[in-house]
Amino acid sequence: MIHPILLCGGSGTRLWPLSRKSFPKQFSRLMGEESLFQASARRLSGEGFAAPVILTAEPFRFIVTEQLAQIEQAPQAILIEPEGRNTAPAICAAALWLAGQDPEALMLVAPSDHVIPDAEGFRAAIHAAAPRAAAGDLVTFGIAPDRPETGYGYLELAAGADARAEAPQPLARFVEKPERARAEEMLAAGNFLWNAGIFLMSARAAAEAFRTHAPDIVAAVSEALAGAERDLGFTRLAAEPWSRAPDISVDYAIMEKADNLAVKRYAGPWSDVGGWDAVWQQSGPDAQGNVCSEHATAIDCSDTLLRSETDQVEVVGIGLEGIVAIATSDAVLVAKKDEAQRVKAAVSALKAKGAKQAVQFPRDHRPWGWFESLVIGGRFQVKRIVVHPGAALSLQSHHHRSEHWIVVEGTAKVTVGEEVKLVTENESVYIPLGATHRMENPGKVPMVLIEVQTGSYLGEDDIIRYEDVYARS
């Protein structure tokens, strides 16, 4: 049985404005109707695969459970990282946790934001690598390159290895992202593969590799696991020892030092979707090289990506060549396609000027559903709030604002002070300043309401929680 270890705690910015710190790309529907995370979980499931072990960050824990439920999957465990410490501590935590269940279990470590269209072919490659991993090797997966890519690291096969063999081959070394000329040389040589950052190994072999090559990581992570707390189905790693783990990638921590490495070649289509240029490439450009979303139109354009994430904004390009234009409800990105990797610089510039669009997504996801601000004024705010069936907001009050709730879809069970009543479509209720209140959805369909806040301060931190089924402070 192979145990998928899905890493989904990162908050990359190279796909801004769709990917932001509050809602990163792995949870977005970049390619189709499912998020990258959902597609990864579905791809690594079925015969021969156990339920996944998820490593994620505190803000994303309920997004993880919600998205898994949408594809009818249940996790084996969800480990909450107190802070991001790169891939080595995360993988070490998974290895030690899994070794505690079954030391011989095979763990497949995979990022949750890759695109691999041929799921069946990739599963076949995993199963082909399993005997080598069961024998104690650390097997990494290398992608057969089709161009001199400078955005990926490479894997160099050992002398005498067969680059086209179906079985895993000996690995000589890891190679950093190259300059263009070096990438062309490696492509021509034929014995280099792209480093996908995907690994198959037994829990015992992984744990031993960490103990041998990164004992400081093992010490911190072991203590974080020992002090972990169970909370609503999550396993919260202890924060203080976790903070002592080095911030380092698994390649640097153990893979570049180990002598029991092997690489399994995968020749199918693959992308880490590391920028809008990759989204353009993976989306299948038309005869003119254009990719347009439903609410985008290209007129006399070529090699261009036009995308709108909302039906309220139509994106139109005229006479463009090699351009990326991405619109959300609160931000627009326009860039040359070959400059797409510089989006991180744009995010840094927005942070420096204090723009909330740098990190905050328009739709704020919560364990009970989500909300978005429709209008914000000096002393008022209008929100749309969607509550999942059976979900409930905390029992709370506010120091600085009163609220009006108008139900527009479904039925709300509303508590105001000592009064509890049902509020149906086209009905409203008033929440006075300082009153304890709660909103619940007792129905079988999502409940939607419009909230009008008025007061001197409308921030999300003006909440006093008295009861909360999601154990938030």
Digit-coded pLDDT (tens) for 282-315: 999 999 999 999 999 999 999 999 999 999 999 9
Q: Domain limits of the chain?
A: 2-265, 276-353, 363-467
Q: What angle do CA 365, 49, 118 make, to 5 degrees?
A: 75
- Residue 8: what pLDDT? 94
- Residue 165: what pLDDT? 87
Give the Cβ contact number of residue 226 at 10 Å: 11
Helix (H, G, I), strand (E, B) or coil at 62: helix
2.60.120.10, 3.40.50.300, 3.30.70.20, 3.90.1300.10: CATH of 363-467:
2.60.120.10
Q: What amino acid occupies position 108?
A: L
Mean pLDDT of the chain: 94
Predicted confidence (pLDDT) at residue 188 exceeds the cutoff of 90: yes
Q: What is the average per-residue pLDDT within 378-394?
A: 95
Q: What angle do CA 21, 22, 25 make, to 5 degrees?
A: 65
Residue with tokens 């744990």: 207
Reported as a pLDDT band with limits 50, 70 and 90, residue 421 is very high
Strands 291-292 and 305-308, by their bridges, are parallel
Q: Which residues contact 33 (CB under 8 A, 6 or more apart)?
A: none
- The more confidently predicted of residues 139 and 59 is 139
Given a contact cutoff of 8 angstroms between Cβ atoms, the answer to whether 87 and 4 are in contact is no
Distance CA(365)–CA(273), nearest Å, equals 23
Burial class (CB in 10 A: 0-12, 13-18, 19+), 120: exposed
Q: Which residues contact 262 (CB under 8 A, 6 or more apart)?
A: 129, 132, 137, 138, 139, 140, 168, 169, 170, 171
Digit-coded pLDDT (tens) for 340-360: 889 999 999 999 999 999 999
Given a contact cutoff of 8 angstroms between Cβ atoms, the answer to whether 143 and 193 are in contact is yes
Reported as a pLDDT band with limits 50, 70 and 90, residue 390 is very high
Q: What angle do CA 336, 341, 346 make, to 5 degrees?
A: 80
Reported as a pLDDT band with limits 50, 70 and 90, residue 371 is very high
Digit-coded pLDDT (tens) for 441-473: 999 999 999 999 999 999 888 999 999 888 765
Helix (H, G, I), strand (E, B) or coil at 52: coil
Q: What is the average per-residue pLDDT within 249-265?
A: 95
Give the Cβ contact number of residue 408 at 10 Å: 13
User: Containing H/E element for 184?
Assistant: helix 180-189
Query: How far from chain centre, in Å, is Cα 155?
Result: 25
Reported as a pLDDT band with limits 50, 70 and 90, residue 31 is confident
Predicted confidence (pLDDT) at residue 335 exceeds the cutoff of 70: yes
**CATH class of the domain whose range is 2-265:** alpha beta
- Sign of the Cα torsion 353, 354, 355, 359 reads positive
The two tokens of residue 293 are: 């979303």
Digit-coded pLDDT (tens) for 135-185: 999 999 999 999 999 889 999 999 989 878 889 999 999 999 999 999 999
Beta-carbon-side half-sphere exposure of residue 142 (alpha carbons within 13 Å): 34
- Residue 297: what pLDDT? 98
Q: What is the average per-residue pLDDT within 402-408?
A: 97
Q: What is the average per-residue pLDDT within 93-111?
A: 97
Given a contact cutoff of 8 angstroms between Cβ atoms, the answer to whether 93 and 221 are in contact is yes
Distance CA(115)–CA(30), nearest Å, equals 10
Q: What is the average per-residue pLDDT within 103-129?
A: 96
Q: What is the average per-residue pLDDT within 22-47?
A: 93
Q: What is the average per-residue pLDDT within 106-116?
A: 96
**Is the pTM here over 0.85, yes or no?**
yes
Predicted confidence (pLDDT) at residue 228 exceeds the cutoff of 90: yes
Distance CA(7)–CA(316), nearest Å, equals 36
What share of the chain has pLDDT > 90, as a percent?
89
For the chain, what is the total number of helices (H) and then of strands (E)? 11, 28
Q: What is the average per-residue pLDDT within 93-108?
A: 97
Given a contact cutoff of 8 angstroms between Cβ atoms, the answer to whether 372 and 364 are in contact is yes
Reported as a pLDDT band with limits 50, 70 and 90, residue 10 is confident
- Residue 473: what pLDDT? 58
